[in-house]
Amino acid sequence: MRTTAMKTYLQKKYTYNVLDNLQVDVTIHKRLHELEPQHLFNMAARMNKKRSFLFVSSVLGKHLAIRPVVPGFASALLASAFYEARTGNVAEFESCVAAALKSGEMEGVNKAVSALSKEKLSLPEDCLFIGFAETATALGQAMFERFTNGHYVHTTREQVKGTAEALEFKEEHSHATDQLCFIEKELFNQHEHIVLVDDEITTGKTALNIIRAIHAQFPKKEYTVVSLLDWRNEANEQTFRQLEQELDITIHTIALLKGEIRVTGNNANLKPLEKEDRPSHDLQIDRHNMSIHFEHTTYQSADQLPYIKGTGRFGLSSHEQHQVEIACERAGQELMVNRKGKKTLVLGTGEFMYIPMKVAAHMGEGVMYHSTTRSPIYPIQKDDYAIHDRIEFPSTHGEHVSNYLYNLRDYDDIFVMFEQPIDKKRIQPLLEQLASYTSHLHVVCMSQGREGNHGA
Give the confidence band of 203 by pLDDT, cuts at 50, 70, 90: very high
Closest CA to 385 of 67, 40, 54: 54
Longest Cα separation, the chain? 63
pLDDT given for residue 31 in this prediction: 95
**Distance between CA 143 and CA 152 in Å, rounded?**
10
pLDDT given for residue 410 in this prediction: 96
Please, which residues bridge with residue 294 across strands?
Answer: none
pLDDT given for residue 9 in this prediction: 55
438 inside domain: yes
**Distance between CA 327 and CA 311 in Å, rounded?**
12
**Distance between CA 66 and CA 303 in Å, rounded?**
37
Spell out where 117-156 has E strands.
127-131, 150-154
145 inside domain: no
Torsion of CA 212, 217, 223, 226, to 10 degrees: -70
CATH classification of the domain holding 349: 3.40.50
Question: How many H-runs (helices) and E-runs (strands) does the chain carry?
Answer: 11, 20
- How many domains does the chain divide into? 1
353 inside domain: yes
Vertex 17: Cα angle to 14 and 19 (nearest 5): 155
pLDDT given for residue 48 in this prediction: 78
Q: Which residue has the higher pLDDT, 186 or 330?
A: 330
5-19, 226-240, 326-340: least confidently modelled range: 5-19
pLDDT given for residue 417 in this prediction: 97
pLDDT greater than 60 at residue 171: no
**Distance between CA 351 and CA 62 in Å, rounded?**
10
Closest CA to 254 of 101, 38, 39, 30: 30
223-237, 265-279, 380-394: least confidently modelled range: 265-279
Q: Are 345 and 366 in contact (CB under 8 A)?
A: no
Continuous segment of H or E residues that includes residue 396? none
**Distance between CA 190 and CA 402 in Å, rounded?**
39
pLDDT greater than 50 at residue 454: no
pLDDT given for residue 18 in this prediction: 94
216-220, 321-325, 369-373: least confidently modelled range: 216-220
**Distance between CA 407 and CA 378 in Å, rounded?**
11
Give the confidence band of 456 by pLDDT, cuts at 50, 70, 90: very low
- Give me the mean pLDDT over the 21-45 stretch: 95
Q: pLDDT tens across 311-361, in order?
A: 998 899 999 999 999 999 999 999 999 999 999 999 999 999 999 999 999
- Torsion 155-159-163-169 (CA) sign: positive
Over pLDDT 90: what percentage of the chain? 73
Q: What does the DSSP assignment read for 244-290? A: HHHHT-EEEEEEEEEEEEEEEE-STTPPPPPPPP-PPP--EEEEEE-
pLDDT given for residue 393 in this prediction: 94
Q: Are 356 and 328 in contact (CB under 8 A)?
A: no
Give the confidence band of 304 by pLDDT, cuts at 50, 70, 90: low
39 inside domain: no
Please, which residues bridge with residue 167 across strands?
Answer: 181
133 inside domain: no
pLDDT greater than 80 at residue 33: yes
Q: Rounded mean pLDDT of the chain?
A: 90
Q: Are 204 and 223 in contact (CB under 8 A)?
A: no
Q: Are 162 and 300 in contact (CB under 8 A)?
A: yes
Q: pLDDT tens across 392-404, in order?
A: 999 887 678 899 9
Distance from chain centroid for Cα 211: 20
Please, which residues bridge with residue 151 across strands?
Answer: 128, 317
27 inside domain: no
pLDDT greater than 60 at residue 406: yes
pLDDT given for residue 303 in this prediction: 60
pLDDT given for residue 275 in this prediction: 72
Over pLDDT 70: what percentage of the chain? 91
Q: pLDDT tens across 50-104, in order?
A: 788 999 999 999 999 999 999 999 999 999 999 999 999 999 999 999 999 999 9
In SS3 terms, 147-161 reads as ECCEEEEECECCCCC
Give the confidence band of 6 by pLDDT, cuts at 50, 70, 90: low
* 3 state DSSP class of 36: coil
Q: Give the single-character DSSP code of 403.
A: E
Give the confidence band of 451 by pLDDT, cuts at 50, 70, 90: very low
86 inside domain: no
Give the confidence band of 159 by pLDDT, cuts at 50, 70, 90: confident
- Give me the mean pLDDT over the 204-223 stretch: 92
Residue 339 belongs to what domain range?
A: 284-306+327-445
Closest CA to 172 of 243, 261, 244, 236: 236
262 inside domain: no
Q: pLDDT tens across 110-120, in order?
A: 999 999 999 99
* 3 state DSSP class of 302: coil
322: CB partners within 8 A, 6+ apart: none
